[in-house]
Structure 1
């Protein structure tokens, strides 16, 4: 993995300067779960009829199967396929393509009179259904029900999206300079931001 050494060096720097990191990171363990074996990854791919994006596949096999990351950290593969936000904890159907290519939200959200109450349960249930995130791993809980998605099936495969439906914010692709970003680019950006915060804290400019 071409990113491996750089990622490990940046994680080590953050761990060594954790007291100067952002509040969320200070509450996290700067460590990773054990890596998955090639056999375990192949078994997962075969059972869901997909192949994982190469950078993510290498991350969980060479660095760790979840652990230190944005928000509450990276979810392990077996939990990333479950929608923890829903009461019945359904599996996300990975064998179906992710349907979106641009920002998406329901039109009714913008015209609903929120001062008079909340929409009916059947409307909300349709909105937060896993059908909208088919073909995605829910790799990270960022807080307040917002999650980062890694698309593993469809035209957006390999790209990171943000799922803000818990706050009626819809689905949005993550971008850098107007371009879609991969898992490795997203994770590296997170590390760079934390290192920037640490250095600004140390210099007294944060």
Structure 2
């Protein structure tokens, strides 16, 4: 396995702090700040608690760069140790099923959990506004129950949010281990792997360093 050279990353991020935050999307969420990295003992405790060894690229980032902060979109969800238990925190970080990270992520290609749902209600099909509103509420409840069923994202860690409930996640178990995926279910875009121009999967290091290269230009 090729090791990742994370040297200089913290310095490169620190240099961005002089930029206006509105010049980089999401910077008002992370302020170009990186939290301290994990120690070996902290990482060992984390992996013991979640029952899985993290993919090497993310693992080495946690040890050599940071436990969270500045990064793509609104920044990396930081790891927190609260009451002796480790977890990720942020807008959507709670979607990470901490007790199911050892279960294999079930997909290897695009999947839309809501694809088989019926069409949403149309106002002209209802006799009153009240009936239409009730139908909309029922449909929204059904959609969310199906689209956000945690079985769809077992074996993954949510990395960050992009706004409007769009998020990126890292697969930690199963055939897609190490790949970064997009969770676009909020807009009925489903779950899909991030790929480069050749169609190859994007891993954590590529995902993070591409962001740093882009914002550093």
TM-score band, normalised by the shorter chain? 0.7 to 0.9
Q: Structure 1: which 5+ runs fail to align?
A: 197-206
1:168 maps to which residue? 188
The question of whether the paired residues in 2 share the 8 Å contact of 1:146 and 1:165 is answered with yes
* Cα 1:43–1:79 shift into 2, 3 Å: closer
1:128-180 CA-to-partner distances (Å, cap 9, x unmatched) read 02211100000111111111101001100000001111222210100112110
Q: Which consecutive segments of 4 or more residues in structure 1 shift more than 6 A?
A: none
Alignment of structure 1 residues 97-112 onto 2, 5 Å: 97-105=104-112, 106-108=114-116, 112=119
Displacement of 1:48 in angstroms is: 2.0
2:16 maps to which residue? 14
Which one of the candidate residues 138, 149, 154 is aligned to 1:134? 154
Residues paired across the two proteins, number: 192
The question of whether the paired residues in 2 share the 8 Å contact of 1:83 and 1:130 is answered with no
Displacement of 1:20 in angstroms is: 7.7
Displacement of 1:64 in angstroms is: 0.7
Displacement of 1:184 in angstroms is: 0.5
In structure 1, how many angstroms separate the alpha carbons of the residues matched to 2:95 and 2:155? Answer: 14
Matched position secondary structure for 1:175: coil
Matched position secondary structure for 1:108: coil
Alignment of structure 1 residues 68-147 onto 2, 5 Å: 68-77=70-79, 78-80=86-88, 85=92, 89=94, 92=97, 93-105=100-112, 106-108=114-116, 112-113=119-120, 115-116=122-123, 117=136, 119=139, 121-147=141-167
The question of whether the paired residues in 2 share the 8 Å contact of 1:3 and 1:184 is answered with no
The question of whether the paired residues in 2 share the 8 Å contact of 1:136 and 1:150 is answered with yes
Displacement of 1:5 in angstroms is: 2.0
In structure 2, how many angstroms separate the alpha carbons of the residues matched to 1:83 and 1:68? Answer: 13
2:35 maps to which residue? 33
Displacement of 1:113 in angstroms is: 3.4
Q: Structure 2: which 5+ runs fail to align?
A: 80-85, 124-135
Displacement of 1:84 in angstroms is: 5.2
The question of whether the paired residues in 2 share the 8 Å contact of 1:31 and 1:68 is answered with yes
Look at both structures and tell me which one has the larger radius of gyration over its CA atoms: 2
